[in-house]
Structure 1
Amino acid sequence: MVISSTLLFPPPSSLFVTAMSILSCVSLANGGYMETKGKHMQYSKFFNVVAASKKPKDHEIKLPSRNGMLIAYTPALLAALSSSAIFPYRDLRIVMLVSVLTIHFFKRVFEVLFVHKYSGSMVLDAAISIGSSYTISTMTMIYDQYLSHDEFREPAIDLKYVGVALFLIGIVGSFYHHNILSNLRKKGDREYRIPKGGLFDLVICPHYLFEIVEFVGISCIGQTTYTFSFTLGTMLYLMGRSYATREWYRSKFGEKFHKDVKALIPYTF
């Protein structure tokens, strides 16, 4: 209780938010575990490699990866942009939270349109499912913040400005390393290469590391149970995904892949 009142708003009197806090963390953690076992999300390059060896299902509608990713990210961006009409507010913390969520998904849509290069496809059902998940999570963060502002006092330790600094570090680092990945291949080139530059010389997934920093920043801005539980789930998911990514590079490139390059955290993991 002391820790909660010092760092977090108490959980609001909403069964929906409480259930979502548990569900989001558990489902993301399970997704990370499944990644380590070779059962990948349907937008990953690993899923496309596995799917290419299987007979496609007759009822599946496949989209170009770019279109699928737009379907996955755009609804959450629109939800964040329109949230002020749904939840009228003037509190600075809420404005900051909505702003960073909007920037986060704007960056993702921008990268889909202008940065990433694609070599696969995405199943429509998966794109809709992922998009729905992002949208619900985004709106739950904002709704939880709105309830917390109305029901409780501010936490004793104010972390929102620390959160903004962490968010900016995370989003710049993530964008920078996504650019490095994109520049590995020219247009029409489908060959995978070992990324070099930035933190890629230390970890194979620095873009995931910086995304975690982003969400830690978002958690510090919000200081609610849901944002922290969602961030914890995201960390566990990206740990599993980065582990799977490292194993994929090791199996594909063998001795060319330096054994000292870790999955996510330099020199550690």
Structure 2
Amino acid sequence: MVISTILNFIYPPPPSLFTTAMSVVTAASLANAGLSEVRGVHLQYSKFTLAANKKVPSRTGMLVLYSPAFLAGLASFAVFPGGGLRFLVLRSAISLHFFKRILEVLFVHKFSGGMGVDSMVLISFSYFLSTATLIYSQHLSQGLPNPPVDLVYPGIALFLVGMAGNLYHHILLSRLRREGDREYRIPAGGLFGRVICPHYFFEAIEFVGISFIAQTVYSCSWTLGVLFYFLGRSHATRRWYTSKFEDFPEDVKALIPYIF
């Protein structure tokens, strides 16, 4: 009964040991990364780079994070030509997501520190592998029975809302300080009055939109893992702000307004 209900919304798992293993590994590793953030073991970027032994400038590190995944998205149009509307929209959404992130690194973000080399390599590889697996899993789904419930168009709507909200809150963060200013302040405006990480909140909406577009087992596992990571990272971020600012508002949550 449960499986038949789930199959109304996703493609049947393709006969691929690789995508099956990656579905488990991706969800488990991202969830573990989220738990590590809660425990105080942070990926070394943004305000949590102090413990990193080897660093690169944040702008350089962020470009390394997003560029391989963006190139993988672009390359998929040549590697897997055709494939129908769903495949086209998925590849376009993934490529657009990482292209936007690159543009933000170049023209929006203001950086105050470095990025740990180990974290840079790990995150960059994770983005690249997740992107390639998302696309490959969708390719393997070609020819399988379509899910009875088509979520492509709701997925597009969620993706666009998430991307716009994420960009808006990144712009608000960039306006907190001038170039070269290394002082942190409590963010304000938008949803910052409700959660300390609204940029994560809207990025999570983006990824839910991508999983709706794809409707594959891997896309759902990947999105679930990302959500667990965002929960842990936002919790650690809120804890950092409350430790630095005595006037941090108690009613401002970590990630989900009014809830968490």
Q: TM-score, normalised by structure 2?
A: 0.97
Question: Any idea what SS the aligned residue of 1:228 has?
Answer: helix
Tell me what 2:82 maps to.
89
Q: How far 1:197 moved relative to its partner?
A: 0.3
Q: Distance in 1 between matches of 2:181 and 2:123?
A: 27
Residue equivalent to 2:252? 261
- Of residues 4, 8, 11, the one that matches 2:10 is 8
Q: Which amino acid aligns with 2:67?
A: T
CA deviations on 1:139-170 (whole Å, 9 max, x unpaired) are: 100110011113x1110000000000000000
**Which deviates the most, 123-132 or 237-246?**
123-132
1:19 is paired with a residue of what secondary structure? helix
Tell me, yes or no, if the aligned pair for 1:204 and 1:263 is still in contact at 8 Å: yes
Task: Name stretches of at least 5 consecutive residues in structure 2 with no aligned partner.
Answer: none
Distance in 2, Cα, partners of 1:187 & 1:43: 18
Deviations 1:33-84 (A, max 9, x none): 00011111122312x2344xxxx3xxx4x32110011111101000001102
- Listed as ranges, the matches of 1:108-127 within 5 Å are 108-127=101-120
1:99 match: 92
Paired residue for 1:17?
19
19, 31, 34: which one aligns with 1:32: 34
1:242 match: secondary structure: helix
Structure 1 window deviating more from structure 2 (96-105 vs 83-92): it is 83-92
AA aligned to 1:167 is F
How far 1:4 sits from its partner (Å)? Answer: 2.9
Q: Percent identity?
A: 57
Amino acid paired to 2:191: L
The count of corresponding residues between Structure 1 and Structure 2 is 258
1:193 and 1:243 map into 2 onto residues whose CA distance is 17
Cα deviation for residue 90 of structure 1 reads: 3.3
**Conserved 8 A contact 2:73-2:91:** yes
Distance of 1:252 and 1:126 partners within structure 2: 24
| 1:246 CA displacement | 0.6
**2:143 corresponds to 1:147:** no
Deviation at 1:122, TM superposition (A): 2.0
Q: Pick from 70, 92, 96: which aligns with 1:77?
A: 70
**TM-score (normalizing by structure 1):** 0.93
Unaligned segments of structure 1, at least 5 residues: none
3-state SS of paired residue (2:164): helix
Q: In 1, are the aligned partners of 2:46 and 2:113 still within 8 Å (CA)?
A: no
Q: What is the CA-CA distance between 1:128 and the residue it aligns to?
A: 2.5
Trace 1:1-269 onto structure 2 (pairs within 5 A).
1-46=3-48, 48-51=49-52, 56=53, 60=54, 62-150=55-143, 152-254=144-246, 256-269=247-260
Larger mean CA deviation between 82-91 and 221-230 belongs to 82-91
Q: Partner of 2:56: helix, strand, or coil?
A: strand
Return 36-45 or 181-190, whichever deviates more. 36-45
